[in-house]
Amino acid sequence: MTKKRVGMGFLAFFLLFALVLTGCGDKETGGKSDEKVLNVFNWSEYLPQSVIDQFEEETGIKVNYDTYSSNEEMLAKLSAGNAGYDITVASTYFIEIMIKQEMLAKINKENIPNIKNIGEDFLGTSADPNDEYSVPYMWGKAVIAVNEDLVEKEVTSYADLFDPEFKNNLVVLDDVRSIVGTMLAMLGYSQNSTDEKELEEAKQKLLELKPNIKAFDSDSPKTLLVSGEVKAGIVWGAEATLAAQENAAIKTVFPSEGLNLWQDNFVIPKDAPHKENAEKFIDFILRPEISKEISMDYPYGNPNVEAVKLLPEDIRKSLEVPSEVLEKGEYNIDVGEATQIYDRIWSEVKNN
C-alpha cells in the first residue's frame, strides 16, 4: 500500500468516524429540531388529511405520512432500525414491549400543554404509569356489527356468529389479540390468557368459525358491511358507527361475553430525528377543536374530554358504553413469551 493510499484510507476512516459520531449525537439529542419536517407512522384511516393540512399551514412543517395495519407491522418496521419516523401510535400493551426494548424517547410534557385536556382515567396506564413515554390518542372496542335486513335471528353474543346462517358472511378484524381475545372471552377465559391449553381451545373455536369468515380486514371492515356483501362482523366500534351512517340497517351489538378494549397512544421513537416537531404535533392534535374534528371523521372513543364536549349529541351517544358493559370488558396487556403462541395460532387459522 502506498503512502497516498494509506493517507486517503485514513481520511476516509476519519470522515466516516466523524459522521458516525454526528449521527449518534443527533439521535441522543432528538436530531435536527430546527428542520421543518415530521415523519409520521400511523394506523390507516385514523387521522383526517384536513388536520395534517392545518398543521402544515400553521407551522410550516412538512408532514410525511405512512400507515400500517397492525401493531405487529409497526413494531417490526421500527425494530429493524433506521426507520426515520418521528412519531407513531401504539396500543398500550405494545408500549410495554417497546419500553422494555428501549425503543422509545421520553416525551417532554412542557412542550405539550394541551395534555391537560386528557381525562385522568386514560393516564397512568399499566404500561407507562408515570406517563413518561406516551400520550393518549384514542380508545375503543371490538364490537359485533349486524345488518338486520339480512339476518333472521337476534345476535347478542360471539357464540351467535357460529350459526350456519353466517357461512361465508362475516368480516373479522385482522388483529390477532382482538380476535383470539374474543374467543377466549366466549370460553370464559381472560382475554390475556397465557395458558397453552386455553389458547389451544381458542384456536379450535376460531377454526370452527373459519367457514363463516369471508374476509379478515382491519383497515376498512365497514366496506363489506355497507355493501351487503357480508351479514355481520367483529369490527372496530368506530367502523360500526360509520357503517350505520351509510346503511341504517347496520346495528352495533355489545357481545354478552364482554368487549375487547384498547387504547392507542402517541409515542416517539428513541432515534426520532425531529423530536420537538413530534411534540408540537401532539400538542396540536390535543387542541379540543382539532381532536373534535378527528372524532367527527373517525368516531372512536376520545380521551380528550374537552373535545368530547364539542361533539354533536348523536356522535357523543355513539361513543357511550354502559358501565356494566365496560366492567365486563378487558384491555389487552403484554402477554410476554405467549405472544409467540398467539402469533402461531393466527397464522394457522388464516392459512387453514
Q: Tell me the per-residue pLDDT of 79-98, one tens digit each, with 9 for 90 and over.
A: 998 889 999 999 999 999 99
Q: Do domains 29-139+263-317 and 140-261+322-351 have the same CATH topology?
A: yes
pLDDT at 274 over 80: yes
Q: Fold for domain 29-139+263-317?
A: D-Maltodextrin-Binding Protein; domain 2 (3.40.190)
- Whole-angstrom distance, CA of residue 65 vs CA of residue 84: 12
Which residues does residue 339 pair with via DSSP β-bridges, in sequence order?
none
| Cα–Cα distances in angstroms (integers) from residue 209 to residues 148, 220, 231, in the given order | 20, 21, 15
What's the fold here for domain 140-261+322-351? D-Maltodextrin-Binding Protein; domain 2 (3.40.190)
| 30 in Cβ contact with 275 (< 8 Å) | yes
Residue range 198-217, pLDDT digits in tens: 999 999 999 999 999 999 99
* Predicted local distance difference test score (pLDDT) of residue 34: 72
CA distance 145 to 151: 11
In angstroms, rounded to a whole number, what is the distance separating the alpha carbons of residues 241 and 238? 5
- CB-based contacts of 134, cutoff 8 Å, min separation 6: 90, 92, 95, 104, 107, 125, 127, 128, 265, 266, 267
Per-residue pLDDT band at 33 (split at 50, 70, 90): low
Q: Which neighbouring-strand residues pair with 147?
A: 250
Whether the pLDDT of residue 4 is over 80: the answer is no
Across-strand partners of 304?
Answer: 118
Rounded CA-CA distance 38/47 in Å is: 15
Q: Is the pLDDT of residue 18 over 90?
A: no
Torsion of CA 133, 65, 311, 143, to 10 degrees: -80
The tens digit of pLDDT for each residue in 175-188 reads 999 999 999 999 99
Other CB atoms within a 10 A radius of the CB of residue 326 amount to 13
Binding residues for spermidine, as ranges, are: 45, 93
Q: With a cut of 90, say whether residue 260 has pLDDT above it.
A: yes
Whether 137 contacts 43, CB under 8 Å: no
In the chain, where are the structural domains located? 29-139+263-317, 140-261+322-351
Q: What's the pLDDT at 82?
A: 81
Write down the mean pLDDT value for the chain: 91
**Where is the binding site, in residues?**
45, 93
Cα dihedral 339, 341, 342, 343 sign: positive
- Give yes or no for residue 12 having a pLDDT over 50: no
Q: Which three cell numbers stand for residue 133?
A: 413515554
Q: What SS3 class is residue 228?
A: coil
C-alpha 139: how far from chain center? 9
Query: What is the full DSSP assignment across 148-189?
Result: TTT--S---SGGGGGSGGGTT-EEE-S-HHHHHHHHHHHTTS
- For CA atoms 187, 193, 196, 202, the dihedral sign is positive
Answer yes or no: are the C-beta atoms of 350 and 280 closer than 8 Å: no
- Cα radius of gyration (the chain): 23
pLDDT at residue 7 tops 70: no
- Find cell 409467540 and name the residue: 340
